[in-house]
Amino acid sequence: AIQMTQSPSSLSASVGDRVTITCRASQGIRNDLGWYQQKPGKAPKVLIYAASSLQSGVPSRFSGSGSGTDFTLTISSLQPEDFATYYCLQDYNYPWTFGQGTKVEIK
Amino acid sequence: EVQLVDSGGGLVQPGGSLRLSCAASGFTFSNYDMHWVRQAPGKGLEWVSAIGVAGDTYYPGSVKGRFTISRENAKNSLYLQMNSLRTEDTALYYCARGNYSVSGSHFDYWGQGTLVTVSS
């Protein structure tokens, strides 16, 4: 199975900060990667798919990049509603695998 | 409006069985791959199974041979039969719809989750 290594596992940031989360695949996965946001007590929500495609309705401050093994989620200007846990997910082949998650907390 | 409603969770002893259901509405269920994803208390997300429109199924090693995903298109329903349950299967189980396009795939709709607790 493809291993997804996500970093950092947590970070503290202030409103307005630029935040970057990375995900590394144990083998090449083309651009078959998505980013999901989860708030406490809620189901996850897709932000980005195919590494860089913004899901409809998601604010443009979210962006994704990368291909092959290294991927990045960037929040250009952190907003209060962005404090949550973020996960990457590879859908290149089965079994699909998630990263361990990154908890974004208020500084 | 697309809706996925998960049900069937509960308390079960180790070695026991449970069947989860996901009732879908608001879209043509037979046209979509469907998945189960779980989350143990305080832990991250784990993909559990998938079923394609043609009935092809997929599992990770952690549940293969113990869990069976199925679908009943006439009832717009997805199921997860879980046998030989272990304490480590304790989690909130979500069904999710797979959306596939030329540019890529993702989970675009999720159920609310149903809690499975495996304990003696």
Candidates A49, A86, A102, A103: best to mutate against B (most CBs of B within 10 A) is A49
Q: How many residues does chain B have?
A: 120
DSSP A35-103: EEEE-TTS--EEEEETTTEEPTT--TTEEEEEETTEEEEEESS--GGG-SEEEEEE-SSSSPEE---EE
Quick one: pLDDT at residue B100? 87
Cβ separation A95–B61 shorter than 8 A:
yes
Q: How many residues does chain A have?
A: 107
Confidence bin at B72 (pLDDT 50/70/90): very high
- Residue B29: burial class (beta carbons within 10 Å; 0-12, 13-18, 19+): buried
For B27-49, what is the HEC assignment?
A: CCHHHCEEEEEEECCCCCEEEEE
Whether residue A95 contacts residue B61, with contact meaning beta carbons closer than 8 Å, is answered with yes
Contact list in A for residue B59 (CB cut-off 8 A) is 95
Contact list in B for residue A97 (CB cut-off 8 A) is 47, 60
**pLDDT (average), residues B87-107:** 92
Buried b (16+ CB within 10 A) or exposed e, B64-79: eeebbbebeeeebbbb
Quick one: pLDDT at residue A106? 87
> Does B18 lie at the interface with A, CB-CB under 8 angstroms?
no
Q: What would the two tokens of residue A55 be?
A: 């899901």
Cβ separation A43–B61 shorter than 8 A:
no
Q: What is the tens place of the pLDDT at every residue in A76-97?
A: 999 999 999 999 999 999 999 9
Give the distance from residue B49's alpha carbon to the nearest chain A alpha carbon, in angstroms.
Answer: 8
Judged against a pLDDT cut of 80, whether residue B103 lies above it is answered with: no
pLDDT, chain A, mean = 97
Contact list in B for residue A50 (CB cut-off 8 A) is 103-106
> Does B94 lie at the interface with A, CB-CB under 8 angstroms?
yes
Q: What is the tens place of the pLDDT at every residue in B38-59?
A: 999 999 999 999 999 999 999 9
% of chain A exceeding 70 in pLDDT: 100
Judged against a pLDDT cut of 90, whether residue B104 lies above it is answered with: no
d(CA A26, CA B69): 27
Give me the residues paired with residue B114 across strands.
B93
Whether residue B70 contacts residue B77, with contact meaning beta carbons closer than 8 Å, is answered with no
Q: What is the tens place of the pLDDT at every residue in A22-73?
A: 999 999 999 999 999 999 999 999 999 999 999 999 999 999 999 999 999 9
**pLDDT (average), residues B14-19:** 98
d(CA A36, CA A101): 9
